[in-house]
Amino acid sequence: MPISKPFQRWVAGCLLSALSAAAIAQAAQPHVVVLATGGTIAGAGASAANSATYAAAKVPVEKLLAGLPELSQVAKVTGEQVFQIASESFTNAHLLQLAQRVSALAKQADVDGIVVTHGTDTLEETAYFLNLVVRSSKPIVVVGSMRPGTALSADGALNLYDAVSVAASKDSAGKGVLVTMNDEIQSGRDVSKTINIKTEAFKSQWGPLGMVVEGKNYWFRAPVKRHTTQSEFNIDEIQALPAVDIVYGYGNMNTTGIEAYGKAGVKALVHAGTGNGSVAAQAVDALKALRAQGVQVVRAARVPDGFVLRNAEQPDDKYDWVVAHDLRPQKARILAMVALTKTRDSKELQRIFWEY
């Protein structure tokens, strides 16, 4: 029996309205850009049993996104391959290029959030750098994985899904650069990689900001240190980063490293001391000599948690040294580099370490 014209028109109308509803829904979806830089989240192993033995930085961003069709339920996602490297090989040039790209995208009206996929080794340094210099309140989320996508119980897919859903959420705005790993939403400032062979690898001594579960954010605190739109630093005004390096304190400490960095022309030296940032008696004069040459001395601690007290283990006022507060040495280096693009004054430097 032929189908009547009115019925055909009714069916066509229903299809059109369904299609237009889907199109409207798609058009209304937030646009998240995924900037891929490499790392284990783009890694590949020889077999599913290889959760720790694999090659990082192999899978291109298109393949990462194609392998996660569920992303389309969360946002309109586009990808860019900025680098394809293991993050232990990041340089200051990589940091500057990535931050410039993030900043440019954040300025675009058609971009609602940005995700950076990154190796886990220096993820915490990049996240803190972006937190300091990208002047945007839009969600910027850095994400990695501890296992390659080829491994049994790989963590990358859910980490990436979580990162995109956090970056697509309006309530993620204004919280500084975020890191999503293992269901937690961490502050890019506070978080560090604390374990090198577990998926629950990223911790902050001050705790996560929240959790993300099935694409929904559950917030429990907000950052109090200056970041992004509250920062006095701006990647658009930074063309180069000064040399800042780190020496560790330990039993039988000597001054070879301190003197070598002085000769190499560092602008600041982070001393990761024992305990509360203690400096071995035999190293004090070498650090004082560096200060006399105009090099800033930043007293941090090799002890992961707590914070360094000014004038406790060393007379910082007398020596004109700076303390790193609760920042781990690798984060103190990032802040010192950024701060030195603005000031060479140690009192200003100490203010910056209190505020960021």
Give me the phi and psi of 40, to 5 degrees please. Answer: -65, -30
Report the DSSP pairing between strands 216-219 and 192-193: unpaired
Known catalytic membership, residue 40? yes
d(CA 79, CA 60): 10
Q: Among residues 32, 33, 39, 184, which is the contact residue for ligand DAS, using CB under 6 A?
A: 39
Q: Is 45 in the site for ligand DAS (CB under 6 A)?
A: no
CB nearer to ligand DAS: pick between 40 and 217: 40
Q: Which stretch binds ligand DAS (CB under 6 A): 115-123, 220-228, 275-283, 315-323?
A: 115-123
Q: Is 119 in the site for ligand DAS (CB under 6 A)?
A: yes
d(CA 322, CA 253): 21
CB of 190 to ligand DAS, least distance (A): 19
- Two structure tokens written together for 112: 């609602």
CB nearer to ligand DAS: pick between 86 and 297: 86
CB of 233 to ligand DAS, least distance (A): 25
CB nearer to ligand DAS: pick between 195 and 240: 195
SS3 223: coil
d(CA 138, CA 118): 19
Q: List C-alpha distances in Å: 230 to 133, 174, 175, 355.
A: 10, 10, 11, 10
Q: Is 350 in the site for ligand DAS (CB under 6 A)?
A: no
Q: Is 200 in the site for ligand DAS (CB under 6 A)?
A: no
d(CA 82, CA 179): 18
Q: Is 121 in the site for ligand DAS (CB under 6 A)?
A: yes
Q: Work out the angle at residue 339's Cα, subtended by the Cα atoms of residues 335 and 342, and round it to the nearest 5 degrees.
A: 165
d(CA 209, CA 187): 6
Buried b (16+ CB within 10 A) or exposed e, 242-252: bbbbbbebeee
Total binding residues toward ligand DAS, as defined by CB under 6 A: 10
CB of 121 to ligand DAS, least distance (A): 3
Please, which residues bridge with residue 85 across strands? 38
Residues 180-199, one symbol each (x = binds ligand DAS by CB under 6 A, - = not), give --------------------
d(CA 281, CA 346): 23
Residues 76-95, one symbol each (x = binds ligand DAS by CB under 6 A, - = not), give ----------xxx-------
Q: Is 62 in the site for ligand DAS (CB under 6 A)?
A: no
Q: Is 120 in the site for ligand DAS (CB under 6 A)?
A: yes
Q: Is 144 in the site for ligand DAS (CB under 6 A)?
A: yes
SS3 4: coil
Q: Is 155 in the site for ligand DAS (CB under 6 A)?
A: no
Binding to ligand DAS in span 267-286, by CB under 6 A: none
CB of 267 to ligand DAS, least distance (A): 26
Which among 37, 40, 228, 255 is annotated as catalytic?
Answer: 40
d(CA 28, CA 170): 13
Q: Is 172 in the site for ligand DAS (CB under 6 A)?
A: no
Q: Beta-carbon neighbour count of residue 165 at 10 Å?
A: 27
SS3 270: strand
Q: Which stretch binds ligand DAS (CB under 6 A): 107-115, 118-126, 153-161, 209-217?
A: 118-126
CB of 201 to ligand DAS, least distance (A): 8
Report which secondary-structure segment, H or E, holds 114.
Answer: strand 113-117
CB nearer to ligand DAS: pick between 40 and 169: 40
Q: Which residues bind ligand DAS (CB under 6 A)?
A: 39-40, 56, 86-88, 119-121, 144
Residues identified as active-site: 40
